[in-house]
Amino acid sequence: MRLYLLALNPTDSVTEGFLPAAARLGLDVTLLTDQPEAHRRAGSDIEVLECDVRDFRAVITRISTHHMPDAVFTNSDHLQTQAALAASYFGLPAKDWRTALRVKDKAQMRRHLAASGLDAVWSTELAAGQDPAGLTALDVPYPCVVKPREGVASEDVVLVDSPEDLVLRCKEIQTRRPQTPLVVEEYLAGELYTLETLGDGHVRHILSGFHTQLSPRPYFIEERLVHVPAHPEPVVKQILTQLDALGVGFGVCHTEFVVHDGRARIIEVNYRAIGDQMDLLLARLLDIPLFEHILRTHLGEPLPADLGARTDGAAVVDYPCARRAGILTAAPAAADLVVDGVELTYRPLRALGERHELHHTNRDYIGVLRAVGQDADQRTVERVAADYLAAQRWEIAP
């Protein structure tokens, strides 16, 4: 069976998750990408073809002139609509392209939820090149959040508390990204969580979720995620109702939301697996072939009524972050350890000697520590992770 996998840059989700899973399923994989050399350097021995994957017409043409597909899949935030359109063109199982577009476009998501009567969030758009000074004439609720309409990874997401700050921040983002439309929306107070789901269009499984700890404001860098085996039932019901209204139900989905006084409100919906190595952790923690299940849904196979996932494990993920621009001169090497029954997996995300600017996003990550305790409690897992990090040294020279 032939799987077409759409990708931009190489990611751990693809190279360590989906490609090995496809091999275990015996699939012939053709990777379509606009960065073929980067994927070849990543060490994959699958077929890699160059394609303008951001254009669904180019994707359809590339597939039509190659081998006929049995599945078209992507785990990229930016390519969900294209993959859905291409799969639908060939009559294959797929996410609804309208849903993929609806949740990727943060302004459209807000409009749709408001029209459904489930959640009305004050929000407005700023078109690419539009003068943000016009925002000062609006009744903007402060504090508010500015972010790219179709952004990811906290890129250019910032909290502002005055009209002057709003105009300044919008202009700064427009200077860096002149072709990017922006969204300005009210700040939703509350603790930040995630809900991870997997469905086949008929059966939907709640995989679990995480409690996210963010950097100090005005930025929103995800610095630590603590596993939550099960959110309170009323919270899950609220989020699933909103996902149903958006049309989300096929394949894997990573939803970020806040809870305040018992009310759960969606921040954003990422219609793909959770990233930054969290999906690798989730597969290990739940002890299920997660990546295979995801691919099988796109091959048209129904999910089992019971995934057989473990619910007794504990986990935490920490992301050491750069606090200033400069050259990384000292950092720990990759490590795989077991301490007090806790599996520690550390992976560097930045090479020694590299110089990086400070972005105030996930691009400031220097490394990632995954701590999983299949038979350890949460307190032990967090203690072991904290002890490991305290013993390490990261240094950045100007």
Pairing outcome for strands 2-7 and 28-33: parallel
Region 39-68: mean pLDDT is: 93
The angle formed by the CA atoms of residues 263, 264 and 268, to the nearest 5 degrees, is 150
In this prediction, residues 361-381 reach a mean pLDDT of 93
Report the mean per-residue pLDDT for the chain: 95
Average pLDDT over residues 80-96: 98
pLDDT (tens digit per residue) in 237-283: 999 999 999 999 999 999 999 999 999 999 999 999 999 999 999 99
Residue 41, pLDDT score: 85
- Give the start-end residues of each E strand in 18-160: 28-33, 47-50, 71-74, 123-126, 144-148, 158-160
Determine phi and psi for 190, rounding to 5 degrees: 135, 170
> Using an 8 Å Cβ cutoff, are 146 and 154 in contact?
no
DSSP secondary structure letter of residue 362: G
Q: Is the pLDDT of residue 154 over 90?
A: no
What is the rounded CA–CA span in Å between residue 14 and residue 42? Answer: 11
16-45 tens-digit pLDDT: 999 999 999 999 999 999 999 999 887 668
**What average pLDDT does this structure show over 336-353?**
95
Report d(CA 80, CA 74) in Å as an integer: 6
What pLDDT does 45 receive?
81
pLDDT band at 234 (very low <50, low <70, confident <90, very high): very high
Q: How confident is the model at residue 375 (pLDDT cuts 50, 70, 90)?
A: confident
Give the DSSP per-residue string, 66-83. Answer: SPPPSEEEE--GGGHHHH
pTM, entire model: 0.94
Rounded to the nearest 10°, the torsion over CA 7, 10, 11, 13 is 60
Q: Are 291 and 359 in contact (CB under 8 A)?
A: no
CB-based contact 153:365 (threshold 8 Å): no
pLDDT at 319: 96
Three-state DSSP class for residue 26: coil
Residue 310 tokens read as 């473990």
- Which token pair is 83? 């993959």
Eight-class DSSP state of 216:
S
Report pLDDT for 284: 94
